[in-house]
């Protein structure tokens, strides 16, 4: 990049830096594609977590009973440059989500009863898995300026595809700790386990976002975004922000890093109780009834801060590949996930 970027070269730059942040639906770029340009994208995300930020005040602790969360996501997307000031994007993920932990018995056997049958009938497994399509994402972007500062407005919608909505560990009820204690003998049974291992929040959302960015003649770019995610179904709204910077080491390699955050602006309805542990290191065989359980009311609201870093390779003129590592470093009501993503983008004119 020997010359200062002009509007056309800035638009082309967006093709080169179509990189995806953790949990980001769209390319979130202030630079729009050139007219009559199509970008087809595919991405694979592998996420794992053995710790979680609890839904109380964001307390970080390990999953009890040697629990582990795993998610594999395959996302296909397309981005269309319709004019110099307007583009569309859509994406749809296929997800395989699971949670695995040791089985446990939470109830104490009745005196004088058949203890063998009791233990057989009351072994609880928190293992959960779900496979299917996640949320369908659609976005339209309108360019406000292209040089020297690029800026755009994005209007995005997200819609669930019919998967089962998340709930508390024992379903939507009970919704308070006192109710759980009062009904524990009836609730803490294998047939009542639901948990929240699902393919998404199960709500519609609308997210207007403002993007701004700057690209230099020596290969550096900086951009930032801020938006409000408005959600239905009793889910709280969120403030979505991100900042990213990158540098072209060569014409075919870009390194980048940034910060992505979600902050709950309002409290949503309670969808049940999340059952954490006072001592998450306690093995299953040492549980004595319900003494180690810590019920926490849970909603669809969450906070998180992720710090993605990555590299983009350009093996062909019209093809780029991305490799990204995105850890969640802080949050509330979210897994402390470590996500590795591999993406491929193919650019063509139509």
Quote the tokens at residue 205.
């959302």
Does residue 115 carry a pLDDT above 70? no
Does residue 22 carry a pLDDT above 60? no
Does residue 64 carry a pLDDT above 50? yes
Quote the tokens at residue 311.
């590299």
Q: Write down the pLDDT at residue 112.
A: 58
Question: Which residue(s) pair with 347 in the sheet?
Answer: 39
pLDDT digits (tens, 9 = 90+) for 70-88: 999 999 999 999 999 999 9
Does residue 106 carry a pLDDT above 90? no
Q: Smallest Cα–Cα separation from 16: which of 346, 336, 349, 298?
A: 346
Q: Smallest Cα–Cα separation from 65: which of 169, 202, 211?
A: 169
Strands 51-53 and 37-49: unpaired
Greater model confidence, 124 or 337: 337
Q: Among the residues of 188-244, which ranges form H helices? A: none
**Mean pLDDT (the chain, rounded):** 85
Contacts of 309 (CB under 8 A, 6+ apart): 255, 256, 257, 258, 324, 325, 326
> Can you say how many angstroms the Cα of residue 103 is from the centroid of all Cα atoms in its chain?
27
> Can you list the domains of the chain with their CATH numbers?
7-349 (2.40.160.40)
Handedness of CA 101, 107, 111, 113 (dihedral sign): negative
Greater model confidence, 200 or 125: 200
Distances (CA, A) of 171 to 63, 124, 273, 338: 19, 15, 8, 27
């Amino acid at each position: 990049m020997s010359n200062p970027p002009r509007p056309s070269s800035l638009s082309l730059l967006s093709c080169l830096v179509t990189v995806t942040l953790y949990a980001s639906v769209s390319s979130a770029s202030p630079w729009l594609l050139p007219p009559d340009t199509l970008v087809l994208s595919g991405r694979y995300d592998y996420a794992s977590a053995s710790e979680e930020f609890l839904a109380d005040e964001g307390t970080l602790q390990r999953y009890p009973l040697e629990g582990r969360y795993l998610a594999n996501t395959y996302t296909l997307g397309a981005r269309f440059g319709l004019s110099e000031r307007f583009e569309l994007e859509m994406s749809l993920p296929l997800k395989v989500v699971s949670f695995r932990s040791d089985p446990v018995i939470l109830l104490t056997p009745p005196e004088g009863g058949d203890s063998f049958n009791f233990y057989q009938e009351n072994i609880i497994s928190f293992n959960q898995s779900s496979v299917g399509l996640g949320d369908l994402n659609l976005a339209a972007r309108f360019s406000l300026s292209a040089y020297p500062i690029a800026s755009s407005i994005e209007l995005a919608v997200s819609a669930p595809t019919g998967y089962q909505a998340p709930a508390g560990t024992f379903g939507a009820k009970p919704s308070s700790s006192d109710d759980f204690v009062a009904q524990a003998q009836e609730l803490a049974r294998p047939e009542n386990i639901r948990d929240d291992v699902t393919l998404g929040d199960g709500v519609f959302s609308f997210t207007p976002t403002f993007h701004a960015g700057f690209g230099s003649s020596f290969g550096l770019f900086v951009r930032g975004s801020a938006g409000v995610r408005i959600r239905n179904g009793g889910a709280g709204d969120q403030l979505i922000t991100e900042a990213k910077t990158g540098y072209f080491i060569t014409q075919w390699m870009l390194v980048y890093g940034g910060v992505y955050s979600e902050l709950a602006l309002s409290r949503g309805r309670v969808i049940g109780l999340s059952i954490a542990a006072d001592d998450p290191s306690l093995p299953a065989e040492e549980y004595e009834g319900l003494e180690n359980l810590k019920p926490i009311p849970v909603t669809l609201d969450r906070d998180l801060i992720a710090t993605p870093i990555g590299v983009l390779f350009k093996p062909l003129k019209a093809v780029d590949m991305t490799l990204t590592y995105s850890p969640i470093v802080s949050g509330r009501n979210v897994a402390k996930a470590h996500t590795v993503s591999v993406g491929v983008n193919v650019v063509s004119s139509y």
